[in-house]
Amino acid sequence: MTKKDMSYEAVMGRRNEIMLSAVGIDYEQYELEGVAFDYEKMMDDVGYSMAEVQEIQKGMEVGNTPLLELKNFTALAKKVGGPGKGARIFVKDEATNPSGSFKARRAALAVHEAKKLGYKGVIAATSGNYGAAVACMSAKLGLKCIIVQECYDSEFVGQPEILEKQRACEALGAEVVQMTVGPELFYEDLRLLEETGYYNASLYVPGAITGVETLGYEIAQQCREMVGKDPEYVLVTNAGGGNLTGTARGLKKAGANDTKVYAVSVDLSGLHMASDKDFNRKSFTTGHTGFGIPFTTLPDRSDVPRNAARPLRYIDEYLIVKQGEVFYVTEMLASLEGIERGPAGNTSLAAAVALAATLPEDEVIVVQETEYTSAGKHPMPQLTFARQNGIEIFFGDPDEDVPGKNIILPEDPSQIKLRFSDMKRLRLSCLKRIATEDREYSDVELQYMADEVNVPVDEVKELLLELE
């Protein structure tokens, strides 16, 4: 028998073959002419209705989480905004899911599918809450679970938040393959999938996104019950894009077509996410621009041939917050509302504070997630670790924040700013990676591009002319 080539290039070159075995999806069937592919058909082929997904999640104690009004936050926004300002701020408390985050929704459907198809175990490549979610759901259904996780720099030093997630995965019964930072994460994921024959519980397969759609659907339903209308804004912490994609699709399925969906990321510009030097100089392991921007403009950089998380299709605006603002708002949430939660959802909550102060008081903002907190996720160990890595921490103007050099906490809530990313620049960047050939593109290809960047075809033509 010829021994398989297990080099990095060879394994990555077998990605389509491995995915077909590990997920059961032939991605080739969704390819259309030229650069286009049929995204909606790929999503439709998941084959579950909203009611069926809700029933699956209910059977695993996932979903139907409370929508909480942050009345003291709203009062603060009114004070900062002045007369007539201060939109009502609500938060969807996803920390009440079994694994402590919204990712239980996508994990429930992935693990259910693995069980139904007869796989003996599941594998997920993640350094975040998704690993704990997959481990939790696997334990419920009696499947084996392997989590491949970037934990350390080359000195085997790991951030408190990442090590906490590692602990959670192991506590829930998963085998955790711990790695140093670099390009090997997806290679190791693919190698293990090929070796074990397990199901790929990827963050980026269609079922994972479908699992999150119930979150957006619930937000619309709960808002109608509580305030008699759909929310004007839903703010979503954005990293790999699945959270935003699933939530936005769920809102649309609920008929909340006028609700604006805003992405929010922490500004970590200047730090390279695959850099050993920078790995421990970032104080956020998710929800930051180092993941959020690249996955928005080039979603197919994942472990599957066609990523089902395509956030630029749904983003109305992209907001940026600073590191110190998120830490400050985390403490505000505990002090003003008596709710202690981790940093992921508080990234969007920081933006919500600034946005609410600019909006009429009868409008509604929903921050669509919270996550569990713990010793490793709390601001104090994160800030202590930052100091140990030579990062200055002080109170002042967050706009003077330099990622990897300092973390500046606001001196008062009015310093939490509203910053809009340049959506045109993001769209041009996305189109530049699609339209790589100097030729005329067909109507099918142009419609695909228009869907990808969420603008009409005529505007895509104008953007392509700018690229020339």
Distance of CA 198 to the CA centre of its chain: 24
Residue 312, pLDDT score: 98
Residue 96, pLDDT score: 97
Sign of the dihedral defined by the CA atoms of residues 87, 90, 91, 92, in that order: negative
Q: Which parts of 230-281 are beta strand (E)?
A: 233-237, 260-266
**Cα–Cα distance measured from residue 171 to residue 108, given in angstroms and rounded to the nearest whole number:** 18
Residue 157, pLDDT score: 87
Provide the pLDDT confidence category of residue 153 given band limits of 50, 70 and 90.
confident
Distance of CA 65 to the CA centre of its chain: 18
Give the pLDDT mean for 383-410. 95
**Cα–Cα distance measured from residue 185 to residue 196, given in angstroms and rounded to the nearest whole number:** 17
**Cα–Cα distance measured from residue 137 to residue 107, given in angstroms and rounded to the nearest whole number:** 7
Distance of CA 162 to the CA centre of its chain: 16
The pLDDT tens digits for 253-263 are: 999 999 999 99
Side-chain half-sphere of 194: how many Cα atoms within 13 Å? 18
CB of 205 within 8 A of CB of 25?
Answer: yes
Percentage of the chain beyond pLDDT 70 is 99
Q: What's the pTM? A: 0.95
3-state secondary structure of 12: helix
Greater confidence (320 vs 17) lies with 320
At 467, list the tokens: 């690229």
β-strand partners of 266: 288, 321
In the sheet that holds 199-200, the strands lie side by side as: 175-180, 144-152, 121-125, 199-200
Q: Is a pLDDT exceeding 70 seen at residue 215?
A: yes
The pLDDT tens digits for 77-95 are: 999 999 999 999 999 999 9
Residue 320, pLDDT score: 97
Domain boundaries defined on the chain? 62-97+210-415
Q: Is a pLDDT exceeding 60 seen at residue 1?
A: no
Give the pLDDT mean for 168-178. 93
Residue 181, pLDDT score: 81
Residues 6+ apart with CB under 8 A from 392: 405, 406, 407
**Cα–Cα distance measured from residue 5 to residue 432, given in angstroms and rounded to the nearest whole number:** 34
Give the pLDDT mean for 303-328. 95
Class of domain 62-97+210-415: alpha beta
Give the pLDDT mean for 405-426. 96
Q: Is a pLDDT exceeding 80 seen at residue 374?
A: yes
CB of 46 within 8 A of CB of 210?
Answer: yes
Residue 362, pLDDT score: 97
Residue 23, pLDDT score: 86
The pLDDT tens digits for 31-58 are: 999 999 999 999 999 999 999 999 999 9
Provide the pLDDT confidence category of residue 429 given band limits of 50, 70 and 90.
very high
**Cα–Cα distance measured from residue 327 to residue 278, given in angstroms and rounded to the nearest whole number:** 20
Amino acid present at 445: E
**Cα–Cα distance measured from residue 397 to residue 403, given in angstroms and rounded to the nearest whole number:** 14
Tokens 């084996």, residue? 144
Provide the pLDDT confidence category of residue 161 given band limits of 50, 70 and 90.
confident
Tokens 């530049």, residue? 432
At 293, list the tokens: 């921007």
At 363, list the tokens: 């409008």
The pLDDT tens digits for 187-214 are: 888 899 999 999 999 889 999 999 999 9
Provide the pLDDT confidence category of residue 278 given band limits of 50, 70 and 90.
confident
Q: Is a pLDDT exceeding 90 seen at residue 19?
A: no
Burial zone of 260 (CB within 10 Å; 0-12 exposed, 13-18 middle, 19+ buried)? middle
Look over the chain and give the mean of its residue pLDDT values, rounded to a whole number: 93
β-strand partners of 321: 266
Name all contacts of 275-281 with Cβ < 8 Å and 24+ positions apart. 275/181, 276/153, 276/154, 276/180, 276/181, 276/182, 278/404, 279/152, 279/153, 279/181, 280/153, 280/157, 280/158, 280/159, 280/385, 280/389, 281/389, 281/391, 281/403, 281/404
Tokens 């990321």, residue? 265
Give the pLDDT mean for 256-277. 91
Q: Is a pLDDT exceeding 80 seen at residue 183?
A: no
DSSP assignment of 213-228: HHHHHHHHHHHHHHHS
Q: Is a pLDDT exceeding 90 seen at residue 421?
A: yes
**Cα–Cα distance measured from residue 169 to residue 128, given in angstroms and rounded to the nearest whole number:** 10
The pLDDT tens digits for 235-249 are: 999 999 999 999 999
CB of 27 within 8 A of CB of 306?
Answer: yes
Q: What secondary structure, in 3-state letters, does 120-172 show?
A: CEEEEECCCHHHHHHHHHHHHHCCEEEEEEEEECCCCCECHHHHHHHHHHHHC
Q: Is a pLDDT exceeding 80 seen at residue 375?
A: no
Among the residue ranges 55-69, 104-118, 272-286, the one predicted with the least confidence is 272-286
What b/e sequence results for 333-372 when a residue is b if at least 16 CB atoms lie within 10 Å of its CB, and e otherwise?
A: beebbeebbbbbbbbbbbbbbbbbbebeeebbbbbbbbbb
H/E stretch holding 114 reads helix 103-117
**Cα–Cα distance measured from residue 122 to residue 145, given in angstroms and rounded to the nearest whole number:** 5
H/E stretch holding 88 reads strand 88-92
Q: Which parts of 350-423 are beta strand (E)?
A: 364-367, 392-396, 406-410
